Structure 1
Amino acid sequence: MLRVEDNERLVRVGPGTPGGEMMRRYWQPFLLSSELAEADGAPIRVRLLGEDLIAYRDTNNEIGLLDAFCPHRRAPLFFGRNEECGLRCVYHGWKFDRNGDCTDMPSEPAGTPLQARVKIKAYPTYEAGGVIFAYLGPKEQMPPPPAYEWMRAPATHRHVSKTLQHSNYLQGLEGGLDTAHVGFLHKDDRNAVTRLSALDTTPRLDVEVTDYGYYYVSHRRIAEDEKYIRIYQYVMPAQQMRPSVISSYGKKQDVPTIDGHIWVPIDDEHTFVYNIIYSYDENVPLTEEFLTEEEAFFGRASTDYIPGTFRLKQNASNDYLVDRALQKQGNFSGIVGVNTQDMALQEGMGAIVDRSKEFLGTTDRAIVTMRRLMLEAVKTVEEGGQPRGVLPDQHAVARAYDDIVRPEVPLEKLLEEAVAKW
């Protein structure tokens, strides 16, 4: 279990909180590039780490991320005019560029010294891999932008989607790092979705801490002379990568992909989940047909969302459309969609879990290690240091992998495949 005070240090993410200050030392995704596709287009409201912001793509195709309210009279900049490399407040015409400088103040006399003194809060941004990131921490401690392998893969080989979750980010992250639940929550006897994981429901975990977080190896004995190995990656602060090379039928996939998530805190009780799929074989791109099938399998097809939002139609208001008859027919949860099943359990825990009431087991080793590393990062930031995993040369090497091997195959050989090559 986690002490109440330690839990609070991790789950609270607003400005000035221990967990929030730690999170601000990492580049955080805050939009898909497709959400802000047009230069001089409409600005978008953003809530990130408990702060209300406004984002826009300027005339030069650069991304601005500003305080959501004009510093003059706190009018909402959502209604602002995005024009000529700046966002102009429609209340009195004050205009700000993406660096936070006031470039025009038409309601004041020409040459007013006030213009040079007025600033608006502005955060650095970075766009790569179809995702827009922001850095909300101290500028003097800003690390280089991230360089995850999925960001370096060609556009033809990667796909990122986004889902809104009504719970604290830590519940999602812990679910993503928990390999033991796969043989239960996601089990479906009708199509053997999790056949391999269900063959051994008590996997042995070896966790190896790294300078970016950790990787862990789960060992499942699936036959007398075979075991199923999965190498997961945890990249701080809240990214998981899991392998999808071997299908549930024990054969290599035609499209060898790695899946993953980044859980980004909107605030203490809401999270955006960035869902990543990429092929690491340069000769095998992701086809439209493949992506359509994958997103439908996970419950993230375009028809699964409430139109105009990132919220799933299957949600807490309708009990995620749990089907008790389907549950009796072999779908362990009675809920359709792998990630929808995850969300039902994670949101169902409440907005923020009281982890002091838990009883953890041997298969929770990865979760325990993650919490220890996060608390370590919080303490490091409080002491003025640089937390683990902020530098791109630390996390750029991480890749997930899985395989079916004979028991005597050395782990070192498998780990050679879990090193990024893009």
Structure 2
Amino acid sequence: MLRAEDNRFLTESGAGTPMGELLRRFWLPVLLSKELPEPDGAPKKIVVMGEELLAFRDSRGVVGVIDQYCPHRGANLWLGRNEECGIRCVYHGWKFDTDGRCVDMPTSYPDLNARDLIRIKSYPVREWGDMVWAYMGPAGAVPELPDLEMALVPPSHRYVTKKWQDCNWVQALEGSIDTAHFTFAHLSFDKEENEILEIKKHFVNPLARMNTDQMRWIAEDPRPVIKTVAHDAGLVIAGGRLTGSDNIYWRIAQYLMPVHSYAPSSMPGENIFGQSFIPVTDTNCWIYTYAWNPERPLTSAEREGYTNGNGVMAVVDENYVPLRNKSNDYLIDRKLQKTRSYTGIQGVSEQDAAVQDSQGPIADRSREHLGPTDLGIMHFRKLIMDTARALLAGTPPSHLTHQDRYAVRSGGCVTHKAKDLAAVMVERFGDATGYVGRRRTAAAE
């Protein structure tokens, strides 16, 4: 459990808050690239950590992220005309480029050069892995982009989307690195093989190729032993389950500072899933979700499956709001809940959202009673809060100098129970932290 003041420290992300200042030191995804499909197209309103911003793609195809409001009289620049490398305010014609510079001020006398004195807030922008990333921290401390493997592979090898969620970003992220909840939140409560196979007809399973043994191990052992390993980009969080033999079934997740996590499910050769959790305000967030395969292009069937809610993806509308959401009680089916699953909710992503949203807009961690399977959650909180406190004292996050170490993988494996986690990681990934590196990503070469 956390003290109330520590919970606020962990969850508040506005400008000037310790956690908000930490998040602003890193590159964060703020849009999908496809949301700005063409030069001089319609701009997009975005809110990131409480800041109202405007994103647009200019005539050159360059994306800018600037203040939403014109500094002249406060009109919203979303109403503006995207033309000739800038957004022109429709109120008095002031025009701003992707760097926030005023490039035209028709209401001023030309000889005064007043436009040279006007500049609005703008943030550095990069497009990386089919997402638009912004850096919102101090101007003199812009880091390198993180070497997320999904961005290193060719576009044909990845699928990227996003979904809205009605809760604080931290509890959504904590759900993603909790390897113990799968037994109840996502599987059938009937552990017989025929029931496990039957559930596949009713629910999209993130482990689409998972065999019945793996599903049985998850169902029969709800108390995985949790092990963690710290590394230069974050944490390995692994859960080991009994198999009824001399082997352990390991599900190995990755947490990457400060907002990324990788699902623990994929076996060798299967697609890998990841998520990035971006605060909109302190009570809602965007979750960028992606799948990639380092060895081969994704198939059309896989892409169709992700559109229909496979993996960590949700089925969303044209605004990326899940069709099953808080406003309609996730379309919970009480009959199905009695006969097939603990939740009665279709879709693994939607099952996660339901329980995370149910904790409240901001979970009250002062009321928690944590246990052994929450070890990974404890380590995550300690890492990110200690890093925020260090930044508050003047020490920047060390992770910013190790962006190459973000090229890690997550996944599952079965190994002999005598092996420690380091040996398991080396056997599964070739490295004790799951690091694969840019040169070892075959699809990127």
TM range (shorter): over 0.9
Instruction: Give runs of aligned pairs for residues 19-418 of structure 1, distance below 5 A.
Output: 19-188=19-188, 189=196, 190-191=198-199, 194-246=215-267, 256-281=270-295, 284-298=296-310, 304-306=315-317, 308-409=318-419, 410-411=423-424, 412-416=426-430, 418=434
Question: CA–CA distance in 2 between the matches of 1:406 and 1:144?
Answer: 39
Following the alignment from structure 1 to structure 2, what is the Cα–Cα distance between the partners of residues 419 and 198? 30
CA–CA distance in 1 between the matches of 2:377 and 2:299? Answer: 34
Offset at residue 379 of structure 1 (A): 0.9
Deviation at 1:57, TM superposition (A): 0.5
Structure 2 letter corresponding to 1:305: V
What is the DSSP-based 3-state SS (H/G/I as helix, E as strand, rest coil) of the residue aligned with 1:378?
helix
How big is the shift at 1:210? 1.4
Q: Distance in 1 between matches of 2:30 and 2:261?
A: 17
| Counterpart Cα distance in 2 of 1:90 and 1:395 | 46
The one-letter code matched in structure 2 to 1:370 is: F
Stretches of structure 1 lacking an aligned partner (at least 5 in a row): 247-251
Counterpart-to-counterpart distance in 2, 1:288 and 1:114: 54
Q: Secondary structure at the match of 2:396?
A: coil
Q: What TM-score comes out, normalization by structure 2 length?
A: 0.88
- Report deviation, 1:280: 2.0
Query: CA–CA distance in 1 between the matches of 2:402 and 2:152?
Result: 12
Report deviation, 1:77.
Answer: 0.2
> Following TM superposition, by how much is the alpha carbon of 1:386 offset from its aligned partner in structure 2, in angstroms?
1.4
Deviations 1:268-306 (A, max 9, x none): 11100001101122xx3111211222443448878x323
Per the normalisation by structure 1, the TM-score is 0.93
Residue identity matched to 2:117? R
Equivalent pair of 1:397/1:419 in contact (CA under 8 Å): yes
Could you tell which deviates more after superposition, 37-46 or 215-224?
A: 215-224
Q: Residues 83 and 297 from structure 1, CA distance in 2 versus in 1: closer, same or farther, beyond 3 angstroms?
A: closer
Q: Check conservation: 1:213, 1:388, Cα contact below 8 A.
A: no
Q: Report the Cα distance in structure 2 between the residues aligned to 1:210 and 1:299, rounded to whole angstroms.
A: 26
Deviates more, 1:401-410 or 1:233-242: 401-410
Q: How far 1:100 sits from its partner (Å)?
A: 1.2
**Alpha-carbon spacing, 1:309–1:297, altered in 2? closer, same or farther (3 Å):** closer
Q: CA RMSD in A?
A: 1.8
The letter for the 1-side match of 2:62 is E
How far apart, in 2, do the equivalents of 1:317 and 1:296 lie? 20
- Worse-matched range after superposition: 174-183 or 227-236: 227-236
Which position in structure 1 is the counterpart of 2:5? 5
CA–CA distance in 2 between the matches of 1:105 and 1:154?
43
Q: Which residue of 2 aligns with 1:419?
A: 435
Residue 211 of structure 1 contacts residue 394 of structure 1 at CA under 8 Å; is this kept in 2? no
3-state SS in 2 of match to 1:163: strand
Report the secondary structure of 1:342's partner residue.
Answer: helix
Would you say the 8 A contact 1:45–1:55 is kept in 2?
yes
**Cα separation, 2, equivalents of 1:87 and 1:393:** 33
The offset of 1:223, in angstroms, is: 2.3
1-side partners of 2:309 and 2:134: how far apart? 31
Q: Give the residue type in structure 2 aligned to 1:222.
A: T
Find the residue that maps to 2:370 and give its secondary structure.
coil
In 1, the alpha carbon distance for the partners of 2:399 and 2:308 equals: 32
Give aligned-pair identity as a percent: 37
**For residues 365 and 184 of structure 1, what CA distance do their matches in structure 2 show?**
18
Provide the C-alpha distance between the structure 2 equivalents of 1:40 and 1:294, rounded to a whole number of angstroms: 30
How far residue 61 of structure 1 moved from its aligned partner, in angstroms, is 1.1
Runs (4+) off by over 3 Å: 191-196, 297-302, 391-395
How far the C-alpha of 1:43 sits from its partner, in A, is 0.6
Q: Are residues 414 and 53 of structure 1, via their aligned partners in 2, closer, same or farther at CA, if it must alter by over 3 Å?
A: same
In the alignment, the residues of structure 2 paired with residue 295 and residue 380 of structure 1 have an alpha-carbon distance, to the nearest angstrom, of 41
Amino acid at match of 2:281: D
Cα offset for 1:95?
Answer: 0.8
